[in-house]
Each structure stands twice: as C-alpha cells, then as structure tokens.
C-alpha cells in the first residue's frame, strides 16, 4: 500500500470518529422514490425541515442510478401499488447487500395486508397515508437514530477493515520482523521480514524447518527475556544476539507482549524485532577505534591498564608498574592499589572524572594527578582511557594508558615562573607585582582597615658602578641587593625587580604610612653594609619613593607611578633617602622625567653654560684660578643646576659629550683670560671629571686633543676626580691617572674625606692636590671647634707634597681657621658664587684681594 492511499483511508476513519465523538445529528442523505409527484411533494418539506438532504426519483431505473451515485442512508419508498414498492425495496437491499440503509415505506391503508411482502423485501417501517405529521415526525426521529446507528456500524467496520489492511500491509512489508511464538520460542506465525532476517525465504520455509526450541535464541538471554516478559506483561528494547540459519550473528532489538487466556495462562508471545546488526557493528568499531585511539595516544613508554568493571579486577601492564618504581610481581593488579598511590588531594577529582566518563558524560576519560613513586617522590601522571559499554549502555570495562608528565609539568611551571619572575634575582617581576598590587588596592578600597604601601627603589649611580666594575659584577651586586631587600620585608610581602636597578616593594596590610617609612629606613640601614664582590667592597645607596593606599587610589598603576615620582624627588633631595608622595610632586616630577629626553639635545642646541667660581690663595688673597661648573639654560625651565641633571647625564652616559664640551669650553676661556688679563697669565682652571668619563677608554686621547686644539699649557688644567670614583676600581683609576699625568695635567681629588678609605691609599695615586669636602669646612665653628680633621688633611697634604684646597668657605671665621691651619687655597661663597664669563671678566679687571 502506498503512503498516500493509506493516509487518505486513515483520514476517512478519523472523520467518523470525530463525528461519533461529537454526536451531532448529521443531515441524512435521503432518497424519495415515488410514483406520484404530489405525494413526494407532501413528504419532502417535512424531511428537509429535519435537515435531510433530499433527492427524488420516480422510476425503478432512476432509483438504481441514484443509489449508485450517492450513499443514501434513508430511502422513502412511496408507491400506491405494492408491486413497484416491493421491487424498489428489493433493488435497494440488493444495492446495499446488507442492512446499510433504512427503508421507510409510505403506503395507503389498504396496502397494509401486503406488509409481509414489503418486510421481506427489506422495509424497516411503514407510514400509512393519509399521514399524521406528528406521527411521521416521531417515526422519522426513530428512523434517523437507526440510520445513525447503522452508519456508526458501517464506519466502525470500515475502520476495522482499514486497520486490518494496514496491519496486513505492515505485516507483509514491514522492515520490522513480527511474530507470534510459544513461550518456548517455537514460531507460530511470522512476517516475511522476520523470516528474511533469520535467513529464510519465507515464513513457510522457516516453519518447515524443524527449529528446536528457541533455536535461534541463545539460552541465557532467552531465559532473562522470558522472565522479564512474563513478570511485566511486556518488554521494550530488549537487545539480544540471535543465530541465523547460516550461523551468522544477528543483533536484534525486540519489543514483545504476552497474550493470555481468560484464566491468565500464557497462550503466546507476540513481538516486533528490529535488526540492529549494522548499528552494533558500527558501535563496536567505534569502541575499538576509541580503544585504539587511547592506546595510540601513547608511545611505548606509557603504561597500560585495563579494568573489568563487573568483577572489579584490573590489569596493569609491567610498564605501568615500572613507571612507579615497582616490579611486575611486586604490585597487585587491583583498582585499589592504583588509587592508593594517588595523592590524597587528587584522588577525589580522579574518582569524579572516572564517574563522569562511566556515566557517559564524557567521550574519553582523562585525568592528571600526582602519584607516589616507590622512592617516595611524587610524580605527575596523565591517565587516559575509554569505557567499553554493553548493549544496555552500561560500562563493562575500561582500558587506557598512563604517561608520566612530571617533566612536562616542571617545564610548564618553570615557564610560568619565568613569565612572572626576574631571571637574575629570582624576584617577582613587574607583571607579577602589578597583579598583586591590583588585588591589594582592590581590597584596600573595600576595607577601611586595610592599607597598602608601595616603595619604589632606585639604586643611586648604578650605571656608573655597572660600567666601572663591569656587567658581571654589576649583576652580582643586584642579586645581593635583592637579598637584602627581601630580608627587610615581612614574610609574604612582595619585593619585585621592575627594571635594571629599580625595585618595588609591596607592603600589604600595614598599619599606616609610618610602617612604610620604617621599612624604607631599614632598607637604607641594610644597604650601608659593604657588598663584597669581585674581591672588594662596594657601597651602594638607594633612593626610594613611597605611595600609600591611604592617599586614595583606584588604580594600581597610579599608585606605582606616584611611588616612582616620589623616588625622583628623593634623588633630587640628594639620594640615599626616601620621599613620600604628595600630589604637588606630580607636575614637577613629570617635568623632571622629561629632563632626560631634553638633555639629549642640550649640547647640540647650545643650552649648556659654564659658570666659574674663583679659587683664592690664602697667603696672598689673590685669585689663582677658577673651577668651571656647568649649568643648563633650559628654554622653558630656566637655569638648571648641575645637581639636578648631572646624575641623569651620568646614568644615561650623556655626561661624556657634556664633559668634553665643558673641558673644551673651559680651556678656551682660560686661554683667552690668560691672554687678556696680564695679571692673570698663570691662571689655572679646574674641570670636574665624572666617573663615567673616567672609565672611557679614549678619555686620555680626547683630553690630549683638546689641549692641542686650545693650545693651553697642560699644567694650567686641573682635573677634579672624586675620591669614590678612584676607589671603585683602583687599578683602572691608577692606570688612567698615570696616563693623564703623562700629559702633564694636574689632578685633584674632589670631595676629599667623604670616601671610604681616604688616607690609606692616597700615596698610591699620582695626584697634585686635595679638595677638602665642604661638609668639613661647614662644621668648623667660630671658636676653632672641629678643626682637627681639616688640620689633619692639611698636614697630610703637606707631607705628601700636595696642594690643599678648602671648598665651601662661607664665613670669615672659616677663612681665619683655614689660615691658622695654613691651608693654601680656598673656594666658596665668601669670595664669590660661581659666575658667568662676563662677571668673571669684571672681577679680573678689578683684581680683588681677600
Ligand atoms: P663640586 O664639584 O663639589 O662643586 C662645588 C659645588 O659647591 C658647586 O655646586 C658650587 O656652586 C658649590 N659651592 C661653592 N661654594 C660654596 C659654598 O660656599 N657653600 C655651598 N653650600 N656650596 C658652595 P654646583 O655648581 O651646583 O655643582 C654641584 C656639583 O655638580 C659639583 O660639585 C660637581 O660634582 C657637579 N658638576 C658641576 N659641573 C660639572 C661638570 O662640568 N662636570 C661634572 N662632571 N660635574 C660637574
Ligand atoms: Ca668640583
Ligand atoms: Ca667638591
């Protein structure tokens, strides 16, 4: 049967059911068959009024024609003569071949005696003419009901026939096997598909073969099937493996019902069977491929395991055991012994992962956990596997592999560590610090009682140290500084290296700003200890800036920036100290940070100026020379003092070109003055040399070049070098000093007394003079207090044949003291502040005497 036809049939039956359900009287299709038009005209309105669809006809042949055209339900036979009436009734009955329509005969009273004939012909009821309309209505009501009942029966029969046909079609052509069998499995009836599935050409062929009881049914599942079926009355989706006629295995899914007799005895089973062999083969291939996948994931170095979930036994490959340091026979094959070795923190997660896979929620099982090796160490193991499921979807066993991922994880952790830590010092880097600072500031914003501080620390003059001592030693110093910083911090607080010689300290949960300040002080104290590297002591100081969450920060980056700004402030305060951020610093600091970039152009743009401060002979009171001191005439910031930019120039290396410019300029100037002012033909000029210049390879050559170009007497040039520069790398310093001496220039130790081993090494250096640091001069009181050091230096200098200069002389008292001590030369505000070329020339003209 094709689908469209069967659909249409089912549609007709559906209509009927719908009508039966609603029980609405349906207008009957009624045929009035009568010889007399007037008579038919009398009955017709009554029928129409009752909702009948009326058709009329007046000959026998017409009756047959009408009946063939429409399925009439009520036929009114209205003839005055019994003959044609009987004939019509016979025709009607013949047409319907059963009592499918109701026949009402309308006849004159005299025809009643022939009623038997009419009844034999199939009439259901009579109405006598002349008609009483009430009586007719009552009769019609009854007949209508009768017709309806008939119709229902017809439709019901039709529906049954339809469904039987459907079933037959289905039975014959179904892709599903349908059968009836005895409880023992003897097939009573089966459709062709059922026979085909088991390898027979037809049911007849199948029935002809003497099948033993349950012949195609393996006995164990058959028993289970029977038990379940008879207990529940029906069974759905039961999967079994049958044996076909040719011995092939047929995988089936079966639904069945038990049919019992009135006393409850089982008569037969009826069932529908679906061939799922293809599906099963595909599934098994999948499982196998998954197993193969699991095994393929691993090389020979991986261990293998197989777990029978039904018996809860496990097979572990020798390699599996070996990976954990066990010999084959040493280790029991049991799931328990696996789990026993898993780290207690990991075992729950492992079990959970297994359970999810066994529940069918993950396609593969995969878990990484720590396991204890026989030697006691913990190893990371990656276990992978897949469950093998039964037809019911229930996992039967699991198979998989295990690989040792300890090394891979270690490498990963190392990578992660590197991403967040500084390689040299091992400290957290800027990224990690910022992450922690972000969390800390967020917490500080939520909690009133929680305060966070940041100390930004920058080593003073580190570039200098790095270049004079070499990169390697520089790094060693950084490592030691890092250790000291850590030692100043409470456990858990972060010390990070955020740049070359820049560190940041994160103080979490501090009481107040005072605590941050105290930490900064502690760091300063720690750093006063000499750092022993490369066979000598090195001293470092640091400038620190502090910002604190009490100052109200939303963003970690802002807090960090302000700590850095405060650090720059500390630098300008003279280094080796700390500054606490206040908002007024911000602008200045920004300008300050710009200095570096501007400074790069200062030489080319001719923004540098030289100022000169006279050096006076205390014996004669005459000016004997000048110290050249650089200034920076910045177009926007005005005159900038060297204390503000020289250290930047040193740290960036810009001091090299700046220093050369100063030297050339000073020498040119000296030459002019010597020529212009006859009284000052022996004038000398002091030029400061920074440590950075001092470590320049070609310094001596460059100076020689300048001397040549400016044509000055080398003996008129005095190079000032601070004691600490000489001490930082004595051997190199010594070499350079000797070379400079060969040029016949004079050498002076600047800031003498502030260095670390002032007196002991003095003899070593081929220097010509000492400049007593102004802090000693400063301390000399009016009444001769604190003169001992100055006296000692002066005496020492005289013994070694060195000229001694006192700098920073501000008062008459100091001048008198120095005279008493027989100090030769002096320099200071008392005589003059550093001044411009024009002012110097004015003074030289005046030829003053002190
Ligand atoms: P310095 O070499 O010790 O120079 C002496 C500093 O003391 C000068 O400061 C000078 O103005 C100041 N001074 C002089 N007399 C007195 C006084 O009576 N009382 C006080 N309180 N100070 C006095 P300035 O010019 O600001 O230079 C500061 C430092 O900058 C210099 O210290 C030097 O280290 C460096 N510097 C200046 N010019 C140059 C240069 O051309 N090259 C290099 N490498 N460094 C330079
Ligand atoms: Ca100086
Ligand atoms: Ca000085």
467/656: higher pLDDT:
656
Q: How far is the CA of 621 from the centre of ligand 2 (A)?
A: 21
Would the CB of 545 count as within 6 Å of ligand 1?
Answer: no
* DSSP for 803-848, written as a single string: EEEEE---SHHHHHHHHHTT--EEESTTT---B-HHHHHHHHHH--
pLDDT per residue over 89-100, tens digit each? 888 888 887 657
Q: Among candidates 799, 800, 767, 793, which has minimal Cα distance to 779? A: 793
pLDDT (tens digit per residue) in 310-355: 778 888 888 899 999 998 788 888 888 889 999 999 999 999 999 9
pLDDT at 289 over 80: no
Atom of ligand 1 nearest to the CA of 810: 18
Q: Is 847 left (phi over 0), alpha (psi -120 to 50) or beta?
A: left
User: Could you tell me the distance, in angstroms and rounded to a whole number, from the CA of residue 610 to the centre of ligand 1?
Assistant: 12
Q: Which helix (H) or strand (E) holds 688?
A: strand 684-688
* Mutation to probe ligand 1, out of 629, 663, 719, 774 (largest number of atoms < 8 A from CB): 629
pTM here? 0.44
Contacts 24+ apart (CB under 8 A), 799-802: 800/762, 800/763, 802/767, 802/768, 802/769, 802/770
Nearest CA to ligand 1 atom 13: 808
Name, in order, each residue with C-beta under 8 angstroms of 300's C-beta and a sequence gap of 6 or more: 319
Instruction: For residue 749, report the distance from its CA to the centre of ligand 2, in Å.
Output: 9
CA-proximal residue: ligand 1, atom 8 (nearest): 629
Contact 178, 272 (CB under 8 A): yes
Please name which of 520, 588, 528 lies closest in space to residue 548, comparing C-alpha atoms. 520
Q: Check if 810 has its Cβ closer than 6 Å to any atom of ligand 1.
A: yes
The overall average pLDDT reported for the chain is 84
Q: What is the pLDDT of residue 759?
A: 65
DSSP label of 695: T
Residue-wise pLDDT for 106-125, tens only, equals 888 777 777 788 888 888 88
**pLDDT of 441-464, one tens digit each?**
999 998 888 999 999 999 988 877
Residue whose Cα lies nearest atom 10 of ligand 1: it is: 834
Q: What is the DSSP string of 28-42?
A: PEEEEEES-HHHHHH
Spacing, Cα 847 to ligand 1 middle (Å): 24
Q: 327-336 b/e with 16+ CB inside 10 Å = b?
A: eeeebebebe
Measured from the CB, is residue 722 less than 6 Å from ligand 1? no
Categorize the per-residue pLDDT at 10 as very low, low, confident or very high, splitting at 50, 70 and 90.
Answer: very low
Whether omega for the bond prior to residue 130 falls within 30 degrees of 0, making it cis, is yes
CB burial class (10 A; 0-12, 13-18, 19+) of residue 123? buried
User: Ligand 1: which of 648, 664, 666, 688 to mutate, judged by most atoms within 8 Å of the beta carbon?
Assistant: 688
Which neighbouring-strand residues pair with 451? 510
Least confident window among 196-200, 298-302, 601-605, 668-672: 298-302
Residue with tokens 């007024």: 584
Residues in the chain, overall count:
850
Per-residue buried b or exposed e for 181-195, using 16+ beta carbons within 10 Å of the residue's own CB? beeebebeebbbbbb
Is residue 501 classed as helix, strand or coil in its secondary structure? coil
Residue 268 tokens read as 């037969």
Q: What is d(CA 158, CA 338) in angstroms, rounded to the nearest whole number? A: 70
Instruction: Kindly state the helix (H) or strand (E) to which residue 137 belongs, with its residue range.
Output: helix 133-173
Contacts 24+ apart (CB under 8 A), 468-474: 468/691, 468/694, 468/695, 468/725, 468/728, 468/729, 468/732, 469/533, 469/534, 469/538, 469/728, 469/729, 470/534, 473/533, 473/534, 473/538
What span, in angstroms and rounded, lies between the C-alpha atoms of 774 and 810? 10
Nearest CA to ligand 1 atom 3: 751
Confidence band for 546, pLDDT divided at 50, 70 and 90: very high
Q: What pLDDT, in 10s, does the model give residues 121-150?
A: 888 888 888 888 777 888 888 888 888 787
Q: Return the pLDDT at 805.
A: 97
Highest mean pLDDT among 10-19, 54-63, 239-248: 54-63
Of 807, 809, 813, the one to substitute when testing ligand 1's pocket (max ligand atoms within 8 A of C-beta) is 807
pLDDT at 287: 63
Burial code of 761-781, b = ≥16 C-beta within 10 A, e = fewer?
bbeebebbbbbbbbebbeebe
C-beta of residue 454 within 8 angstroms of C-beta of residue 507:
yes
Q: How many CB atoms lie within 10 A of CB 491?
A: 5
Q: How far is the CA of 471 from the centre of ligand 2 (A)?
A: 28
């Amino acid at each position: 049967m094709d689908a469209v036809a069967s659909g249409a049939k089912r549609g007709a039956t559906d209509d009927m059911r719908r009508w039966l359900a609603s029980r609405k009287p349906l207008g009957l299709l009624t045929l009035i068959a009568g010889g007399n038009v007037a008579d038919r005209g009398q009955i017709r309105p009554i029928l129409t009024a009752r909702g009948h669809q009326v058709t009329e006809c007046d000959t026998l042949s017409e009756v047959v024609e009408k009946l063939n055209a429409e399925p009439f339900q009520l036929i009114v036979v209205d003839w005055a003569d019994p003959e044609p009436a009987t004939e019509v009734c016979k025709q009607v009955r013949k047409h319907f071949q059963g009592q499918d329509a109701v026949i009402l005969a309308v006849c004159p009273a005299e025809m009643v005696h022939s009623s038997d004939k009419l009844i034999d012909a199939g009439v259901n009821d009579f109405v006598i003419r002349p008609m009483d309309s009430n009586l007719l209505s009552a009769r019609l009501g009854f007949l209508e009901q009768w017709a309806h009942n008939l119709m229902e029966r017809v439709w019901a029969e039709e529906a049954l026939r339809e469904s039987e046909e459907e079933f037959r079609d289905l039975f014959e052509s179904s892709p599903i096997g349908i059968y009836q069998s005895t409880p023992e499995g003897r097939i009573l009836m089966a459709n062709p598909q059922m026979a085909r599935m088991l390898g027979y050409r037809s049911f007849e062929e199948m029935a002809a073969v003497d099948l033993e009881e349950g012949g195609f049914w393996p006995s164990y599942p058959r028993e289970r099937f029977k038990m379940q079926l008879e207990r529940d009355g029906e069974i759905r989706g039961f999967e079994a493996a049958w044996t076909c006629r040719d011995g092939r295995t047929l995988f089936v899914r079966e639904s069945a019902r038990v049919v019992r007799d009135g006393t409850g005895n089982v008569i037969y089973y009826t069932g529908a069977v679906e061939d799922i062999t293809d599906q099963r083969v595909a599934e098994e291939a999948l499982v196998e491929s998954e197993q193969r996948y699991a095994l393929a994931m691993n090389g020979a170095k991986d261990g293998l395991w197989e777990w029978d979930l039904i018996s809860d036994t496990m097979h572990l490959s020798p390699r599996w055991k070996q990976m954990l340091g066990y010999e084959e026979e040493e280790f029991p094959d049991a799931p328990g012994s696996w789990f026993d070795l898993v780290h207690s923190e990991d075992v729950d997660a492992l079990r959970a992962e297994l359970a999810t896979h066994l529940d069918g929620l993950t396609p593969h099982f995969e878990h990484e956990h720590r396991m204890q090796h026989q030697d006691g160490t913990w190893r990371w193991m990656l276990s992978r596997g897949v469950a093998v499921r039964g037809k019911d979807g229930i996992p039967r066993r699991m198979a998989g592999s295990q690989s040792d991922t300890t090394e891979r994880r270690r490498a990963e952790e190392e990578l992660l560590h590197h991403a967040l830590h500084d390689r040299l010092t091992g400290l957290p880097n800027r990224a990690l610090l910022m992450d922690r600072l972000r969390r800390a500031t967020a917490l500080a914003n939520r909690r009133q009682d929680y305060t966070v501080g940041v100390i930004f620390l920058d080593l003073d003059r580190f570039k200098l140290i790095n270049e004079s001592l070499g990169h390697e030693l520089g790094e060693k110093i950084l490592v030691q500084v890092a250790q000291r910083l850590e030692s100043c911090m409470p456990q858990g607080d972060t010390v990070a290296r955020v740049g070359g010689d820049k560190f940041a300290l994160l103080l979490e949960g501090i009481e107040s700003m005072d605590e941050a300040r105290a930490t900064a002080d502690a760091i300063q104290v720690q750093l006063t200890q000499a750092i022993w590297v490369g066979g000598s002591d090195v001293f470092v100081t640091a400038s620190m800036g502090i910002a604190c969450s009490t100052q109200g920060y939303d963003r970690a980056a802002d807090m960090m920036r302000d700590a850095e700004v405060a650090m720059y402030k500390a630098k300008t305060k003279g280094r080796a100290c700390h500054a606490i951020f206040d908002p007024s610093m911000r602008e200045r600091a920004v300008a300050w940070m710009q200095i570096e970039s501007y400074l790069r152009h200062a030489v080319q743009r001719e923004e540098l100026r030289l100022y000169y401060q006279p050096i006076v002979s205390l014996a004669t009171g005459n000016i004997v020379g000048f110290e050249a001191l650089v200034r920076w005439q910045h177009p926007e910031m005005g005159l900038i003092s060297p204390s503000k930019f020289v250290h930047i120039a040193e740290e960036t290396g810009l001091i090299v070109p700046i220093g050369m410019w100063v030297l050339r300029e000073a020498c040119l100037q000296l030459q002019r003055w010597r020529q212009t002012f006859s009284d000052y033909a022996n004038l000398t000029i002091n030029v400061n040399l920074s440590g950075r210049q001092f470590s320049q390879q070609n310094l001596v050559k460059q100076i020689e070049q300048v001397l040549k170009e400016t044509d000055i007497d080398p003996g008129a040039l005095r190079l000032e070098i601070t004691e600490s520069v000489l001490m930082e790398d004595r051997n190199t310093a010594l070499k350079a000093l000797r070379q400079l001496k060969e040029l016949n220039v004079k050498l002076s130790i600047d800031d003498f007394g502030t260095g670390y081993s002032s007196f002991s090494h003095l003899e070593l250096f081929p220097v010509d003079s000492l400049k007593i640091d102004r802090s000693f001069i400063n301390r000399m009181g009016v009444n001769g207090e604190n003169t001992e050091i100055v006296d000692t230096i002066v005496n020492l200098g005289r013994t070694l044949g060195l000229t001694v200069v006192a700098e920073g002389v501000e008062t008459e008292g100091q001048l008198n003291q120095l005279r008493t001590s027989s100090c030769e030369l002096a320099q200071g505000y008392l005589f003059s502040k550093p001044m411009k070329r024009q002012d110097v020339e004015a003074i030289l003209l005046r030829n003053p005497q002190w």
